[in-house]
Amino acid sequence: MPIVLGAIADDFTGATDLANTLVGEGMRVVQVIGVPGPEATYGDADAVVVALKSRTAPVEDAIAESLAALEWLQSEGAEQILFKYCSTFDSTPKGNIGPVADALREALSCELTLICPAFPKNGRTIYNGVLFVGELPLAESSMKDHPLTPMRDSNLMRLMEAQSTGKVGLIPASIVQQGVPAIRARMEALIAEGVSYAVIDALNEADLRTIGKAATDHKLITGGSGIALGLPANFRGRGKIAPKQDTDFLPNEGRALILAGSCSAATRAQLAQAKALWPHAKVDIDKIAAGKEMVTELAEWAKAQPTDSPVIIYGSADPEEVAGIQKRYGVAASGQMMEDTLSALA
């Protein structure tokens, strides 16, 4: 059977997060890395999540990869497309969220596309178009110091207008909380005003489910993993997917290796707790740049550790250390060295 929902994620971890959300809502999901080839199979999946590496890629590459993913998903029958980006709207004034959304919206001939990175479970909420991280506006959170996509504005309408070609409007919380008919009426009003993108407030999971129901006929939705909460019920209500069932998970067997490369404040806090419990080793970019074989060394170290706990290999560092590494080797080169090392270890 064809899939019903196709998702294009701008990085691997975000794709995994989205797949997890959809599975939690009873969908059968396959996640793939990169645009699948003609030989790809996905069994009886209801949705396929395509994980790209487009968040900080050159704009032209991000657009090309996203359109290629769209073409493949459409060829497999996807009725609705979700462009998934980070719940902190990780981007720069030039993109890539806006340019990719523009390209997808044009390809799908959409009148209005929703912008909703909210994920209340993780503390990401939107009120009056302002994105909050916990109790702080985005630009006052740790994201203001992100090494690749520092977020210096909290207003999603301004952020989107700076990097897209479409006019941006707002569907406020007062409308969302009135329910589906009020949201759809507001959408129609925005379309009449020539608005291409609608930032929509969401304060809790109930809001996200209401938004998902209101967007049942939208060919393109954009946002974080949270926006997917309400989508499976739409397909289930139309008989497109099976009734919700308990999820089958892969068995937990064998040893566990934890790889961490993110330099976010959340990851560094998680590592601080985990390192107090389990063996850990850090990837040394200076040694890699000098030509030292770190992969074999770290793999042998990991295999030599006790077998009764996970082992951690990480590259995460505080902003000052990251800035120093980027100054020595360049932003792109230092990031690539870390990615190559962690992927080879995996």
DSSP state string for 120-168: GGGTEEEETTEEEETTEEGGGSGGGG-SSS-----BHHHHHHHH-SS-E
pLDDT number for residue 291: 93
Per-residue pLDDT of 105-129, as tens digits, reads: 999 999 999 999 999 999 999 999 9
Rounded to 5 degrees, φ, ψ at 187 are: -60, -45
Pairing of the two strands 5-9 and 29-33: unpaired
Domain ranges of the chain: 5-237, 257-345
Per-residue pLDDT of 302-345, as tens digits, reads: 999 998 899 999 999 998 999 999 999 998 899 899 989 999 99
Alpha-carbon gap, residue 14 to 243, rounded angstroms: 26
pLDDT of 18 > 70? The answer is yes
Q: Both tokens of residue 345?
A: 């270890």
- Give the number of other CB atoms < 10 A from CB of residue 295: 17
Q: Both tokens of residue 272?
A: 């601080």
pLDDT number for residue 244: 78
Rounded to 5 degrees, φ, ψ at 8 are: -120, 110
DSSP characters over 6-75: EEEESSHHHHHHHHHHHHHTT--EEEEESS--TT---TT-SEEEEE---SSS-HHHHHHHHHHHHHHHHH
Alpha-carbon gap, residue 67 to 108, rounded angstroms: 10
H or E element in which residue 260 lies: strand 257-260
Amino acid at 32: V
Q: CB burial class (10 A; 0-12, 13-18, 19+) of residue 76? A: middle
Q: What is the mean pLDDT of the chain?
A: 94
From its phi and psi, is residue 218 left (phi > 0), alpha (psi between -120 and 50) or beta? beta
pLDDT number for residue 248: 63
pLDDT confidence bin for 246, thresholds 50/70/90: low
Alpha-carbon gap, residue 83 to 224, rounded angstroms: 8
pLDDT number for residue 254: 79
Alpha-carbon gap, residue 116 to 345, rounded angstroms: 35
Pick the CATH number of 257-345 from 3.40.50.1220, 1.10.3720.10, 1.20.1530.20, 3.40.980.20: 3.40.980.20
pLDDT number for residue 1: 75
Helix 319-329 and helix 331-345, axial crossing angle in degrees, nearest 10: 110
pLDDT number for residue 331: 87
CATH placement of domain 5-237: 3.40.50.10840
Per-residue pLDDT of 29-63, as tens digits, reads: 999 999 998 888 888 899 999 999 999 899 999 99
